[in-house]
Structure 1
Amino acid sequence: MTRTALAGTAGTEPPARFRDLLAAEWLKLWSLRSAPWSLLAGATAVMAFNVGAAWDRYRYWDASEPGSRAGFVADGMPLLDAFTANAALVMLLVTGAIGAAAITGEYGTGLIRTTFAAVPARRSLMAAKVCVVAVVTTVFGAVVAGASFLLTQAILGGRDAGVSLGHPGALRVVAASALLAPVAALTGLALGALIRHGAATPVACFAVLLLLPAAVQENRHWTAVLDHALPLGAWSRLVAVQGFPHGPYPWTVSGAWTVYAAWALAAVVLAVAAVHRRDQ
């Protein structure tokens, strides 16, 4: 009778609470030695590209035409240096790799089998992982984008060409650049849940987030639509300023925000469905 009672007690052990799963995923993410170093190196590279562009503008300010200097602020040109295209590429690469490593690291070490044995609720477990990755990369993106804006505008302010966050379009540039990080990270996480290989997943992430946008152009309608449907294309539209051309097939700001939301939502659904329906 005693053995039966103990067995019954063990069999009715309550499932793990979601906050416990969040805590576990938080520890697992930061236990990856590559995670903090990747974030630090990525933040340094992103801000270096942005600060370098602003410094070049400051250094060669007097060499530009008087007409372009006069309309520099009015056309929103300081926002081009607040977050450059090269910085966006680095942001996509770094955060996409971090999102991929958050899941492929467990597959590579075999820890995923122990995790699923301890927590059979796979969808809840992956939902906790998604939340942790999204929060960490969102904070990372906000800090890097905000710091880049402050530093670049302070440099341009030496030529009376800097703008504040209240300038038209400035807040959108910072928000779009910051949210590029979680979108890329969730995409990497979804690809990692599908591919489950530590080397192949970053390659696939690089191809989807960086190579595919480079292969399409806006000179034709169907390629322009494909470009607008990619995260990098949506970011380009969100950070576009008044004095810069939008191409022959322009995209709307609301449509670009929709692309961000659609990629994030699709990545979450794909990641949760992949671990629920596939044997590990």
Structure 2
Amino acid sequence: MTTLTSPSRVRFGDLVAAEWIKTRSLRSTWWTIAFAGLFVTGSAAVAALADYRNLAAGTTVRRPADFLPFDAYPQPRYMTLMLIAGCVGAVTVVSEYSSGLIRATTVAVPARGSVILAKATVTAALWTAVGTVVSSGSFLVSQAILNERHTGVSITHPGVPRTLVASALLAPVCALVGLGLGVLIRHSAATMATCAFTLLMLPTVFSQSRRWSADANHTMVVAAWQRLVQNWGPEPGSRMFTATVPGSWTVYALWPLIAVVVAVLVVRKRDV
């Protein structure tokens, strides 16, 4: 005699495991991560070498206790990392919509919000690991070069821990923003363009010389990162409005949180 049993409820851990299998099975993801890591770390080495040569030529005066964060974290290269992380985070969702796999996923797991949360968990964990490796590598490589001129600093130097953490978290913040945009837009080209505009182009619209414009600029991810890695305040007499460190950490927290919450709400109410 056959006994019919109801199917067991899918656990969140199972969803996370399934999303991890999807992510690691894409070779393009690993090639992209490797390229981004080598590019950013190599750029830190190039920036440090430039300062190294300037010190040798006597064109740069620097005390051994100084820490210039953009030797280790060149701004244009970290903006490239922001764009790559955001686009890969978007592809996590957009690729399923374009291939039609999302239909099979929602049939297997009707709880669409849980699926998005699982994707967000895997994306955050992966890019936090990537960001930590890249941030630490950039710092260690740059300071090893500058140590040849006795101008490198240790990881415990004032300002360094905050800079390391902010740079490590920049990648997962942008990846989650990209994931949220992917759920909202669902089309590859439009999502990539919106991601680039939101993360990199929109902040340049706002000046820091006027209060309202500076306040708008300070709500952007790239502006928050720049403030967190900056170890000095505004120049005396400067008319520029500078963001606060607590405010910048708040921006770091709110962007991915809002992106994921909106994505969960949208996917629950919209047809696949």
Q: Same fold (TM over 0.5)?
A: yes
Shift of 1:122: 0.8
Alignment correspondent of 1:88: 78
Q: How far apart in 2 are the matches of 1:37 and 1:162?
A: 31
Kept after mapping to 2: 8 A contact 1:80/1:241: no
- Using the alignment, how far apart are the partners of 1:30 and 1:74 within structure 2? 42
Q: What is aligned with 1:253?
A: 245
Shift in Å, 1:214: 2.2
**Amino acid corresponding to residue 268 of structure 1 in structure 2:** V
Post-superposition offset of 1:63:
2.9
Distance 1:44 1:228 in 2: 29
Determine whether 1:276 maps to 2:272.
Answer: no
Question: What SS does structure 1 have at the residue aligned with 2:149?
Answer: coil
Distance 1:247 1:267, change over 3 A: farther
- Counterparts of 1:255 and 1:129, CA distance in 2: 28
Identity percentage of aligned residues:
46
Q: 2:255 aligns with which of 249, 263, 275?
A: 263
- 1:270, CA displacement in angstroms? 1.4
Decide which moves more: 111-120 or 206-215: 206-215
| SS of equivalent residue, structure 2 residue 188 | coil
- Gapped runs of 5+ residues in structure 1? none
CA RMSD, Structure 1 to Structure 2 (Å) = 1.7
Alpha-carbon contact 1:99-1:185 (below 8 Å) kept: yes
Query: For this pair of structures, how many residues does the alignment match?
Result: 270
**What is the TM-score of this pair, normalised by structure 2?**
0.94
Spell out the pairing of 1:147-186 with structure 2 (5 A cutoff).
147-186=137-176
Greater alpha carbon shift after TM alignment, 175-184 vs 213-222: 213-222
1:247–1:159: structure 2 CA closer, same or farther, 3 Å change rule? Answer: farther
Q: Which residue of 2 aligns with 1:197?
A: 187
8 A Cα contact 1:75 1:242, kept in partner: no
Amino acid at match of 1:194: L
Shift of residue 75, structure 1, vs aligned partner: 4.2
Tell me, which stretches of 5 or more residues in structure 2 are unaligned? none
Return the letter of the residue paired with 2:250: T
Equivalent AA in structure 2 for residue 37 of structure 1: W
Alignment partner of 2:25 out of 18, 28, 31: 31
- Larger mean CA deviation between 185-194 and 249-258 belongs to 249-258
Kindly state the Cα deviation for residue 268 of structure 1 after the two structures are TM-superposed.
1.4
| Contact 1:49 1:86 (C-alpha < 8 Å) held by counterparts | no
1:62 is the counterpart of 2:38: no
SS of the aligned residue for 1:199 comes to helix
Give the Å deviation of 1:277: 1.1
Change (3 A) 1:234 1:51: same
TM-score, length-normalised on structure 1?
Answer: 0.92
Letter in 2 for 1:160: H
CA distance in 2, matches of 1:65, 1:21: 57
Distance in 1 (alpha carbons) for counterparts of 2:145 and 2:73: 14
Q: Report the equivalent of 2:104.
A: 114
Report the more deviating stretch, 246-255 or 35-44. Answer: 246-255
Tell me the distance in 1 between the aligned counterparts of 2:233 and 2:212.
25
8 Å Cα contact 1:76/1:242 also seen in 2? no
Give 4+ residue runs of structure 1 displaced > 6 Å after superposition. none
Question: Helix, strand or coil: the match of 1:60?
Answer: helix
Q: Provide the rounded CA distance (Å) in 2 between the counterparts of 1:199 and 1:34.
A: 17
2:9 paired residue number? 15
Matching residue's letter, 1:116: T
Hey, what's the Cα distance between the residues in 1 that align with 2:239 and 2:85? 28
Residue 42 (structure 1) aligns with: 36
8 Å contact 1:234–1:256 — kept in the other structure?
Answer: yes
